[in-house]
């Protein structure tokens, strides 16, 4: 028996680029097949992949991924079965108990230490050239740079490096060398398209990323964006975690770094308990941004019920400065907003409905002809849209599905 660590659905969802027509790691619908359905179903259940011979739903979550152990017989297959996207693919293979998981023709890696790096490099030398894309997750500050240096020393490095498509870097601590380690890794992985950088506070030195690298989507924290030194990569899609108090500084950094490239932006705003807020209206955020090419803006607010401001409507259509908001985002087509009280409908249904209606009316006056979606849950919202006569149609009857990954389409 040998043991390897299998990537459950949360990991695949967290780094998988979901877009049609883009260079992505997987197709939108992943097939898992097996020559031994009974054995494969047991593995699929442990991996949270769903049953074999079914289509997986489009992934939604980006929650931190938790490793799970799956026991395999020698050779890397469960009781003679295989998990594969096509009959000619090798499913999973491992060496010395280290992680190497293949789903369809994509390989997923989780690197922890030097032993992992050595095992992966040996495996790459044996057969990685037949695969399509590689996705990697790292939780140690030095591991990523060590891995890139190890790859660069191999003769097969050029063929392997251009297969890396997504990187998830999650660090609980940072070293003085962490900014340089991250920069070197990005310069090494020249075809990287999707990245998650969930990093703690750096030392005084900022982070510098290759400004010509065509990264399409980035998920990160407000501090990381504010620590970036320009010029930055021509980023198209960005998702940032922040607090409401930090939003002004964050928007200034986004304008400075991505004014000429950003098309889709998601800001996840956390309300600090018992903090004093000026008001949650998304038009205030539009006023802070200056992004001439932005077509999609998503704001998702999270707060405790006592801090959510349910019933306190922030109406600003008559404010003298608000006319700058639509001018700053001339190409904006869709504004999606989850208010800080969006999950508290059952606590005050009448006040909730009145707040929705008031915001729909106020925002339509400020941002016309932008389409507005106000979320009542993670995947449902109320649509307001302009009519040919210039008026808006809105109300709680116009319920629509909300794509959680719309920010990186």
| Residue 6 near residue 101 (C-beta atoms within 8 A) | yes
| Residue 218 near residue 42 (C-beta atoms within 8 A) | no
pLDDT at 8: 36
In 199-302, DSSP assigns E strands to: 217-221, 237-243, 264-270, 296-302
What residues pair up with 250 in beta bridges, in sequence order?
none
Q: At what angle do helices 143-152 and 114-127 cross, to 10 degrees?
A: 30
pLDDT at 100: 64
pLDDT at 302: 83
Task: Tell me how many degrees the CA angle 245-170-141 measures, rounded to the nearest 5.
Answer: 115
How much is the pTM?
Answer: 0.74
Tens of pLDDT along the chain (409 residues) come to: 332 333 333 333 333 333 333 433 333 333 333 333 333 343 334 334 333 222 223 233 322 222 233 222 223 322 222 222 232 333 344 444 445 677 777 888 888 888 888 888 888 887 655 678 899 999 887 888 899 899 888 888 888 888 899 999 998 888 888 888 888 889 889 899 999 999 887 655 688 888 888 889 999 999 999 988 878 889 999 999 998 889 999 999 999 999 999 999 999 998 877 666 656 889 999 999 999 999 999 999 887 766 676 778 888 888 888 888 888 999 999 999 999 887 887 788 888 888 888 989 999 888 888 999 999 888 889 898 888 877 788 766 678 899 888 898 7
Kindly list the distances between the CA atom of residue 399 and the CA atoms of 73, 347, 365, 374, 402, in Å, as whole numbers in the listed order: 50, 20, 21, 9, 9
DSSP state letters, 340-365: TTTT-GGG-HHHHHHHHHHHHHHHHH
Cα dihedral 74, 78, 81, 85, rounded to 10, equals: -100
Tokens of 311: 């019933």
């Amino acid at each position: 028996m040998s043991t390897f660590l299998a990537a459950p659905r949360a990991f695949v969802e967290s780094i998988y680029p979901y877009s049609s027509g883009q260079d992505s790691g997987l197709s939108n619908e992943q097939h898992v097949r097996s020559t031994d359905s009974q054995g494969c179903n047991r593995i699929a259940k442990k991996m949270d992949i769903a049953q074999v011979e079914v289509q997986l739903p489009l992934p939604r979550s980006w929650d931190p991924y938790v490793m799970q152990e799956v026991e395999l017989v020698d050779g890397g297959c469960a009781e003679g079965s295989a998990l594969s996207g096509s009959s000619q693919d090798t499913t999973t293979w491992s060496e010395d108990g280290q992680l190497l998981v293949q789903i369809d023709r994509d390989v997923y890696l989780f690197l922890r230490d030097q032993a992992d790096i050595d095992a992966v490099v040996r495996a790459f030398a044996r057969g990685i050239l037949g695969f399509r894309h590689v996705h990697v997750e790292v939780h140690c500050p030095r591991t990523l740079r060590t891995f890139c240096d190890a790859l660069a020393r191999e003769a097969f490095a050029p063929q392997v490096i251009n297969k890396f498509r997504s990187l998830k870097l999650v660090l609980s601590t940072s070293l003085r060398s962490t900014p340089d380690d991250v920069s070197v890794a990005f310069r090494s992985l020249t075809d990287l398209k999707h990245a998650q950088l969930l990093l703690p506070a750096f030392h005084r030195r900022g982070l510098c990323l290759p400004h010509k690298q065509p990264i399409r989507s980035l998920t990160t924290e407000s501090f990381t964006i504010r620590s970036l030194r320009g010029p930055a990569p021509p980023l198209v899609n960005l998702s940032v975690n922040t607090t409401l108090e930090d939003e002004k500084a964050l928007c200034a950094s986004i304008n400075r770094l991505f004014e000429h490239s950003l098309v889709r932006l998601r800001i996840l705003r956390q309300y600090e308990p018992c903090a004093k807020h000026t008001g949650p209206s998304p038009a205030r955020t539009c006023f802070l941004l200056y992004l001439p090419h932005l077509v999609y803006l998503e704001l998702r607010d999270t707060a405790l019920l006592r801090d959510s401001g349910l019933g306190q409507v922030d109406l600003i259509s008559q404010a003298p400065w608000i006319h700058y908001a639509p001018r700053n985002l001339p190409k904006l087509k869709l504004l999606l907003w989850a208010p800080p009280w969006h999950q508290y409908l059952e606590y005050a249904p009448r006040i909730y409905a009145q707040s929705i209606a008031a915001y729909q009316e106020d925002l339509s006056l400020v941002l016309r002809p932008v389409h507005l979606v106000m979320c009542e849950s993670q995947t449902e919202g109320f649509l307001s849209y302009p009519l040919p006569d210039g008026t808006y149609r809105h109300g709680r009857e116009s319920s629509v599905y909300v794509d959680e990954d719309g920010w990186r389409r």
